[in-house]
Amino acid sequence: MSRFFKRVTTTFLGLVLAIFMVLNTTPYSLKVEATDLMEGIESNNVEGKTVDGRFVEFTSNFSIEMFKRSFDDENALVSPLSIMLALCMTANGADGGTLAQIEKVLGDGTKIGELNRYLLSYAKSLPNEPKSKFKISNSIWFKEGFHVERDFLQTNADYYNANCYRSPFDEQTLKDINNWVKHKTDGMIDSILDRISEDAVMYLINAIVFDAEWETVYKESDIIKDDFTNLDGRKTRVDFMHSFEARFLKDDSATGFVKSYKNGGYSFVALLPNEDVSIAEYINGLTGEYFINTLENVKNQSVSAYIPKFSYEYEVGLNDILKDMGMPDAFDESKADFSRMNPDVRLVIADVLHKTFINVDEKGTKAGAVTKVEMAPTSMPQGETVMLDRPFVYAIVDNSTNLPLFIGVVTNLD
């Protein structure tokens, strides 16, 4: 893929973490030189739409499809929610065929107004408590001299609580945007931009932070050394955390378990493909319905669970993925229609970049994610044991819907 790229760095210390939002208390100060466009624009008290089976269906399908298309034989991690939030903010400025394609990819044809209401309710429903924190932040940045429709700003203020800034798009803007990202991810992701593109006139950015302790924190005696077999067959000596869990997962192609975080709002899900099923085959066969059904058919059965400590960063360009999923017009200079952002300037999505981080250790999991959309003018004991000692899929799910807030794969622990 011409603009598809990824960078994965894996270390041994840590647990699973993906970062999207900022914590209540953070040592990273936020100082922005840009003009705050939200002055004079107050969020209206708008109504959401209760999360239902339809929302779970199209969101799970989008989540699994995005994960499948991001995997390429290496460690991978995406936050479907972060991507969906950033693209829905963008869609509020789209119209015509461009909007219809985005609506099809994100919500199987659900109109953007309904998507806004769904996501408002879903975001509000996600628990954010001590030792089980989850926060979402959104921002939109405009280049000085570029006109933005007030209705576009108002909608994103109403449904996404987005901060909007006008800036010269110079080196200070670069610092401001990256400082915002670092602040909103509590330092887990320190930047989203290497430079400000000469053609860029707008950036829409979502950030999410997840930081939760295990329901039962591991003790030193729960840690053992053993081998993890990497995708290429090489073995790496790593720390495994052992516990007895009460929820066992099994389908035709894999076994796994569910492990709870504090307060009962979130869980860690692990799925280990059977010996005769490669990780690529397993991921290729996943669907949203299959994933949800696997979790809904969880068995209350003891399972002896082993999780390797792991921590890594991941970065992926989404342009080609989103085109292949069915929204090519948004990237096509001759077809893109974002007239509800600015009716006088023909805009196109120039770049969609997604960055994540995860750390899993004895205490719990920290995870974060940032999604950037760049706009430019056109030109437990007996019985079962699951030891994650070879490539496996994992997810952090919202227990009320079983939707994956983060979903990833571990293939190598070098």
Based on its alpha-carbon atoms, the radius of gyration of the chain, rounded to whole angstroms, reads 21
For residue 156, the tally of other CB atoms under 10 A from its CB is 26
- Residue 39, classified by CB atoms within 10 Å of its CB into exposed (0-12), middle (13-18) or buried (19+), is exposed
Sort strands 403-410 and 392-398 into parallel, antiparallel or unpaired: antiparallel
Residues 269 and 259: their CA atoms lie apart, in Å, by: 6
Which burial class, exposed, middle or buried, applies to 221 when counting CB atoms under 10 A from its CB (0-12, 13-18, 19+)? exposed
Return phi, psi of residue 369, to 5°: -150, 150
pLDDT of residue 23: 31
pLDDT in tens, the chain (414 residues): 333 333 333 332 232 233 333 333 344 455 666 666 555 567 788 999 999 999 999 999 999 999 999 999 899 999 999 999 999 999 999 999 999 999 999 999 999 999 999 999 999 999 999 999 999 999 999 999 999 999 999 999 999 999 999 999 999 999 999 999 999 999 999 999 999 999 999 999 999 999 999 999 999 999 999 999 999 999 999 999 999 999 999 999 999 999 999 999 999 999 999 999 999 999 999 999 999 999 999 999 999 999 999 999 999 999 999 999 999 999 999 999 999 999 999 999 999 999 999 999 999 999 999 999 999 998 744 568 899 999 999 999 999 999 999 999 999 998
The angle subtended at Cα 110 by Cα 18 and Cα 343, nearest 5°, is: 90
Cite the DSSP H helix spans in 161-215.
171-184
pLDDT score, position 378: 87
Question: What amino acid occupies position 344?
Answer: D
Of 365, 223, 364, the C-alpha closest to 306 is 223
| Strands 254-260 and 247-250, sheet pairing | antiparallel
The pLDDT of residue 240: 97
Counting every residue written for the chain, the total comes to 414
Residue 111 Ramachandran class (φ > 0 left, ψ -120 to 50 alpha, else beta): beta
Tell me 129's DSSP state.
Answer: B
Which secondary structure element, helix H or strand E, spans residue 121, and what is its range?
Answer: helix 112-125
> How far, in Å, are 89, 90, 112, 336, 377 from residue 99 at the CA level?
12, 9, 8, 9, 17
Around 71, how many Cα atoms within 13 Å sit in the side-chain half-sphere?
25
How far apart, in whole angstroms, are the C-alpha atoms of residue 58 and residue 104? Answer: 10
What integer pLDDT is reported at residue 43 of this predicted model?
Answer: 74
Under a CB-based contact definition with an 8 Å cutoff, are residues 38 and 157 in contact? yes
- Those residues whose C-beta lies under 8 Å from the C-beta of residue 216, and which sit 6 or more positions away, are 243
* Distance between CA atoms of residues 363 and 15, nearest Å: 8
Gap between the Cα atoms of 302 and 304, Å rounded: 7
If we measure between CA atoms, which residue out of 28, 213, 208 comes closest to residue 135?
208
Residue 66: its H or E element: helix 53-70
Among 358, 280, 294, residue whose Cα is nearest residue 20 = 358
